[in-house]
Amino acid sequence: MSSGGIPQSSHPQCYVWQSDLDPANYLLARYQVCSACDGEAVALGMAMEQSAATVAITGYVEPHTLHDWTIRVWRIQPVAEPAPSDVASYQLATEVYADHRKQQQWYQIELAIPLKLLGRRASQLFNIVIGELPRLGYLSGFILQEARLPATFGPGPAFGIAGIRQKVQQTAGPLLCRSMRPAVGLDTATMQRINRDVLAGGFHLVKDDELASFADQTCFEQHLQAMLAARDDAMQQSGERKFYIANLLCEPDELPARWDAACRLGVDGVLVAPFIQGLGVLPMLARQAQLPLLAHQTFAEMLTRHPHWQIADSVLGNWLRQLGADWFVTPGPFATAAASHADHAALLAAACGPASARPMLPIVQGGKHPGGLTDYRTAIGSDDYMLIVASWLDRHPAGLRAAAAEFRAAVDAGFC
């Protein structure tokens, strides 16, 4: 169903919580929305929009038939916000809108979403929990604040923090990784030398950049073989375990062959882009438990940056964890002066706090340098994180290998 107005129902009881319902059969989603309409009407419209909007058709459908399939309004509460949303609403020339021209008000609305609607399928999360709600004209603010998945929804991380540390053979301190830059246009041989020198200098990992693209399967496998050769050469020089993460951001029909090649050739982990490739890419690969999965954030901050129109980072962190990611990328402002400490604490709790699923390893990136190690540790609350560093290394006057050794010495100094 899609509508610009607030739907009217002759059976509103089908969309409110009833005492005979079992909370274990529902996902409780908490939204904060802004509207010039009455809160109860807004909540009813949201529930109808994303479930069975029609519950009665004479001779065909009776309300009791859909008893277990409709989204139910759990709670509605006005909330105080410093200002109305600056996202434009719109009105349609209908009687529904004529009576709803009043001052904007923020509401916290909790909806109980039947797990039947989700089918424990990752693709249904965006489709049901959000779906067409953002196109409702009477909403000028839309924030998904909470939608915690049950433990049975996904496989969870196959490796998590402990598994990654075991594979890298580093039990303490942050892990150091260089993303392959320049991301495009560089010949394979040069990138191979860069990776070898950075790893031999002391970095623990290298990873393909998310922008890397390969013309076909042959080019992809040739790239993997070259990067693995650089990894192995660095291992021999340094006497340490080294890690290479390959980019699996590709078309759906290319993914099986690329995943097979990564497993067959001995790649250490893979990068996927669940907000481009679909959230379902995570459980599909995580269930095989062959390689750790780095859930890259590309495109995701389109969903999180506007304060009045967003999905909370903590919601996405919970989803990635339950669906099987082993690494997640922290938001851009993380560990900077622009950080939202409460929001980032909620993200860390969802992504790597106590839960039945293994904790994911946080990734901190964006202009990071040795002088910031104390700040990164403080922001994470521990030394269980990975730093992605490129710019500081690339600008170092002594070259990449010396720069990697200097950064590694700064990390090791905190654990000796």
- What pLDDT digit, counting tens, does each position of 186-233 carry? 999 999 999 999 999 999 999 999 999 999 999 999 999 999 999 999
All domains in the chain, ordered by first residue: 12-147 (3.30.70.150), 160-412 (3.20.20.110)
How would you write the chain as a 3-class SS string? CCCCCCCCCCCHHHHECCCCCCHHHEEEEEEEEEECCCHHHHHHHHHHHCCCCCCCECCCECHHHHCCCCCEEEEEEEECCCCCCCCCCCCCCCHHHHCCCCCCEEEEEEEEEEHHHHCCCCHHHHHHHHCCHHHCCCCCEEEEEEECCCCCCCCCCCCHHHHHHHHHCCCCCCEEEEECCCCCCCCHHHHHHHHHHHHHHCCCEEECCCCCCCCCHHHHHHHHHHHHHHHHHHHHHHCCCCEEEEECCCCCCCHHHHHHHHHHHCCCEEEECHHHHCCCHHHHHHCCCCCCEEECCCCHHHCCCCCCEEECHHHHHHHHHHHCCCEEECCCCCCCCCCCHHHHHHHHHHHHCCCCCCCCEEEEECCCCHHHHHHHHHHHCCCCCEEECCHHHHHCCCCHHHHHHHHHHHHHCCCC
Contact 379, 331 (CB under 8 A): no
Structure tokens at 320: 């990635």
pLDDT digit string (tens) for the chain, length 416 residues: 555 556 666 788 889 999 999 999 999 999 999 999 999 999 999 999 999 878 778 889 787 888 899 999 999 999 987 677 888 887 655 433 445 557 889 999 999 999 999 999 999 999 999 999 999 999 999 999 999 999 999 999 999 999 999 999 999 999 999 999 999 999 999 999 999 999 999 999 999 999 999 999 999 999 999 999 999 999 999 999 999 999 999 999 999 999 999 999 999 999 999 999 999 999 999 999 999 999 999 999 999 999 999 999 999 999 999 999 999 999 999 999 888 999 999 999 999 999 999 999 999 999 999 999 999 999 999 999 999 999 999 999 999 999 999 999 999 998 75
Single pTM value for the model: 0.94
